[in-house]
Each structure stands twice: as structure tokens, then as C-alpha cells.
Amino acid sequence: MDRVLAFIDGLPGPAAAWWAGVGLILAVLGHATVWASTERPPGVVIYNNVVVPALIFAWFAWLAHTLNKVAAASFNEFRPALGEPEAEDTYRRQLTSINDRHAVLAAVAAVVIGSVAYYVGVRPLRETTPADLERVSEPLWGLATMALGIVVLHTITQLRLVSRLSGAARNVDIFKPGPINAFARLTAVSAMGLIAFVVTFMVYSPTQPIAYVIQECALLVVAAASFVLPLRVMHNRLVAEKMRLLSDSQDRLKLVLGRIHQAVDADDLSRAEQLRQTLTAVLSERDVLTRLHTWPWSAGTFRGFASALILPIALILFTQVIDRVI
């Protein structure tokens, strides 16, 4: 897997164009096979059973490629917070590598789950696909499902490592959000890659069997979890740091108020202005600490993810609930 992705990465031009080319080649080969083995006239495009699965395979292959690029960039930004120069190469390799054995297992599991969902929940409710066409479409859908399984595996591996790195970081500074927010970009890309697939599939096929809707909802749950859950470790550390700073601030506030009380009790107003300024500074510090953000993502990253997640939910509600009621 790593060699394939590295080979595509080494070619001139954007990787997306090369993966799109792979998808188109698969679609052309599928059409050539159908045209040669059936009575369908050459030139008739078969979208559902040939073009769509070929392009879905290319999409997930490109997504795996993109996840590696984003993971490498995010890790480079996270390095100051990690504080382990001797372990950086190991962590970077783990973030951007796909174990072949695990990839095979994930691909097989995805094909089994997808086949059961199709043959049990979808195929009995649809018109029968001609056997000669099905012999071409099944391998293409199998490739697309395998690619999905590998991407899900790679996403889970990366996000588990994000949690591990968040716990291992030695230089977590709540006042320097750059390094601690670095992995939010990776988790957002992981989530939005799955969300984009769901949205595209729903726009292309608005009327779907319930089995597909269930799978799409499951993918949305995975997408939301993949954005939030890996960042909880860093969130908990930032919460603890914020509580410590607020506790220290409260101690200083208590000390200043004590001095004010002493001055009032002694009827000593010579330091009144100084104590007033000190109290204002301590209260301002407390207000600043109260507003510190403890989730390790920027506002823009969160807005982008939330907007992407709302779209498929709205589509599901419209196509599966409102449309049926009307």
C-alpha cells in the first residue's frame, strides 16, 4: 500500500488527477467488457454499475493519499508540543503508513459487510440486474468497497495515534494554540472525506433502500466520532491546565482582596490607587483565563466540519422523512 501511494505521489502533477485517471481507466475497461460480452451497443454509458463504482474506488484511494499528506503536515506542526526528537521518525512513519496485512483484513471485512447489506437488504427490493452486467459490476463494486475498508482502517489507525501523541506531548501550552491544534486538521479531513462520499452518493441517488440509509448514517456517526474523539485527550489536558491557571488566579485575587481589607481596617488610604490597579489587573487576568479555548481546534476548522455534517443530515431528513410524508 505504501509503495502504491508513494508511486502516485512521485508522478508529475496532482495526485487527484492520477487517481481520477485510474477511475476512468477502470470505467473504460468495464464498459469494454460489457460491450464485448453482451448485446448492448458500444457507446451506451452504464453509470450505476460501471462508472460510479470505478470513481468511488478512485475517490477513496485519493482520500487515503490525502490523509497521509495532511498527517505529515500536521505532525510537523505538532512537533514543538511533542518534545521527543528521538521518536519523531517513528511517529511520522506510523501516521503515514498502511500495514499490508491489516489492509487485507479490512478489505475483506468491508466486502463481507457490504455484500451482506446488498444481497439481503437491497437486491431483493430491486429489479434483477442481467447476469452478464453483474459479472462486471460486482468486481468494480468490490474494489470500491475494499478501498472504503482500507480508508476506514487507516483513519482509525491515524486517529488512535493522534490520541496517543496528545497524551505523550511534553510541551502543552494553552497560550500557544498552533501546535496543540495541529491534528484538528487531520481529524477534520478524515471526517469530511466520509461526509463528502455520503453527500455525493445521496445527491446521485436520492431514493435509496433503507439498508443504504443505515450504512450512510453509520458513516456519519463514524465521521463525527473521528473528528471529536481523538482530540479528547488533548482537550482534557487543556482543561486541567486551565483549571490550574484559574486556581492560581483565584489565589492572587484572594491575596489582593485581603490586602484591601487590611488597608480599610487600618484606615490607610495611601495605597488605595495602587491596590485598585492591582485588583483590576487580577480581575482582567481571570477574565482572560476564563475565555481560554480548551478544545484543540480553531473556530474555522470547527465551523467547516459542522457545516459539512449538517448537509447530509438535512438530505437524509428530506429524502427519507419529509418526502415520504408528502
Q: Are 74 and 182 in contact (CB under 8 A)?
A: yes
Residues 281 and 149 in one domain: no
Give residue 321's pLDDT: 64
pLDDT band for position 43 (cuts 50, 70, 90): confident
Ramachandran region of residue 11, left (φ > 0), alpha (ψ -120 to 50) or beta? beta
Residues 199 and 245 in one domain: no
Residues 271 and 201 in one domain: no
Residues 105 and 141 in one domain: yes
pLDDT above 60 (res 2): yes
Contacts of 25 (CB under 8 A, 6+ apart): none
Q: Range of 12's domain? A: 2-232+296-325
Residues 274 and 176 in one domain: no
Reported pTM: 0.81
Express each pLDDT in 235-280 by its tens digit: 999 999 999 999 999 999 999 999 888 888 887 777 788 888 999 9
Express each pLDDT in 52-89 by its tens digit: 889 999 999 999 999 999 999 999 999 999 988 898 99
Give residue 109's pLDDT: 93
Residues 43 and 78 in one domain: yes
Range 177-197 average pLDDT? 90
Question: For position 249, which CATH number holds?
Answer: 1.10.287
Q: Is 8 exposed, middle or buried (0-12, 13-18, 19+ CB in 10 A)?
A: middle
pLDDT above 80 (res 166): yes
Neighbouring CB atoms inside 10 A of 15's CB total 18
Contacts of 158 (CB under 8 A, 6+ apart): 67, 71, 95, 186, 190
In the chain, the number of structural domains is: 2
More confident residue, 125 or 58: 58
Q: Are 30 and 138 in contact (CB under 8 A)?
A: no
Express each pLDDT in 283-309 by its tens digit: 999 999 999 999 999 888 999 888 888
Contacts of 317 (CB under 8 A, 6+ apart): none
Report the alpha-carbon distance of residue 102 to residue 105 in Å, rounded. 5
Residues 126 and 273 in one domain: no
pLDDT above 90 (res 201): no
Range 125-150 average pLDDT? 81
Give residue 37's pLDDT: 73
Give residue 123's pLDDT: 66
Residues 160 and 244 in one domain: no
Residues 51 and 99 in one domain: yes
Which residue's C-alpha cell is 482572560? 288
Q: In residues, how long is the chain?
A: 326
pLDDT band for position 325 (cuts 50, 70, 90): low
Return the DSSP state at 266.
T
